[in-house]
Amino acid sequence: MMLQLLSLTLAYDDTRFFGSVMFTDTDHPDEAPPTVLIDHTDEPPWFRLTNIDPDGQDPTAPAMAEADRIMRFILRYTPDRIGRRPADFPQS
């Protein structure tokens, strides 16, 4: 599966955030876009992902893996937006 970012929406205040990330599957452009919902959690990695496809909940599913990578990137560079510190997001 070859994914391209279609849409990323995040809303957050000083302590919580939520949103979604949508992709286009270049191998199947006419199918519904893979979509992952994002929600805040109070423990590392500080977010929870839920694929709207009930069969795609495995963290290694392409949409889940890419959403995880995007969220880790965003939170690594803007942790203060949710009341965290850079040390809360170790480099992997």
pLDDT at 92: 58
> 17-32 in b/e burial notation, b at 16+ Cβ within 10 A?
bebbbbbbbeeeeeee
Domain count, the chain: 1
Residues 6+ apart with CB under 8 A from 13: none
Residue 45, preceding bond cis, omega within 30 degrees?
Answer: yes
pLDDT digits (tens), the chain, 92 positions: 789 999 999 988 777 889 999 999 888 889 899 999 999 988 888 899 999 999 989 999 999 999 999 999 888 888 887 777 877 776 65
Residue listed under structure tokens 């809360």: 88
Strands 3-12 and 17-25: antiparallel
Instruction: Give the range of the structural domain holding residue 25, as residue numbers without chain letter.
Output: 3-88
